Amino acid sequence: MPAKKPLVIVTRKLPDAIETRMRELFDTRLNVDDTPMTRDQLVQAIQTADVLVPTVTDRLDSRVLTRAGDRLKLIANFGAGVDNIDLETARARAITVTNTPGVLTDDTADITMALILAVPRRLVEGAGVLSKGDFKGWSPTWMLGHRITGKRLGIIGMGRIGQAVARRAKAFGLQIHYHNRKPVAKPVEEELEATYWDSLDQMLARMDIVSVNCPHTPATYHLLSARRLKLLKPKAYIVNTARGEVIDENALARMLEAKELGGAGLDVFEHEPAVNPKLMKLENVVLLPHMGSATIEGRVDMGEKVIINIKTFVDGHKPPDRVLAAML
């Protein structure tokens, strides 16, 4: 008699190929209409599932996870970041957590580089002029931006994505600087011709462009506080494709509104899906709807990692992308 398939509950719609494969392998409940689950629906899911597959929009805090049923043994997160999950509560409840690292590196780095180009060169402003029918023809002094070649780029967080951003930026002639918990390996630093800054404050004060590529953790919440933002040059640009909570968004909006910064390119926001109304009104800001990892290839790769993590766990082995091992 075949073993009973584990009940896997998926909180959002995933690529069709991934959902088909999951239904073949597991007893899978899908979210066909892609409506985000309410807190009550999440609680109901974790009380009945053997495996939960959440996304970054699902807040699995301690109030939710403490109500998990005895069956729930794995949270296979569809995403690299796990700041949506209370890991300590998961550990206390003997729930293993996995994620999907590595597959979104290039996609996110591409969007980061796109913003590094778009903000100083005023690309969205220019496109807006055309769409409104206001283009009157070329002029030597109209829509002038700033070149990026030769400028200093300060990368906050030199992990996979930070290094991928550095490789792209170096090809565009930017000087690479970075702040990290510790320096990267010497061969990587030499390849990127990157300068390590132990002091974030000192780095910020000397950069022309700052790219945020670190995860959101309690230690990085408002890492770029109002005080640190004021260290930036008045003409500096800031790009964030990591997590909105890393920047004090209200302080950033005030400074951009007051022209105390050159501009910003933001793909993430502190209170998603809400966006600070001040940011929406500014011409020196490029705003994207959290699409840094939004490629078909990336989403399929994420789904395949989720399936591998579940299958490995169900077969009694350690899943390859374990973030938190359950305490037995």
Give the residue numbers annotated as catalytic, written as ranges. Answer: 243, 272, 290
Peptide bond into 2 cis (omega under 30): no
> Cα separation of 326 and 121, whole Å?
49
Pick left, alpha or beta for residue 90 (phi over 0 → left; psi -120 to 50 → alpha; otherwise beta). Answer: alpha
Contact present, 237 and 152 (Cβ < 8 Å): no
In sequence order, what are the beta bridge partners of 176? 153
Burial (0-12, 13-18, 19+ Cβ within 10 Å), 264: buried
* Residue listed under structure tokens 């506080």: 225
Contact present, 267 and 291 (Cβ < 8 Å): yes
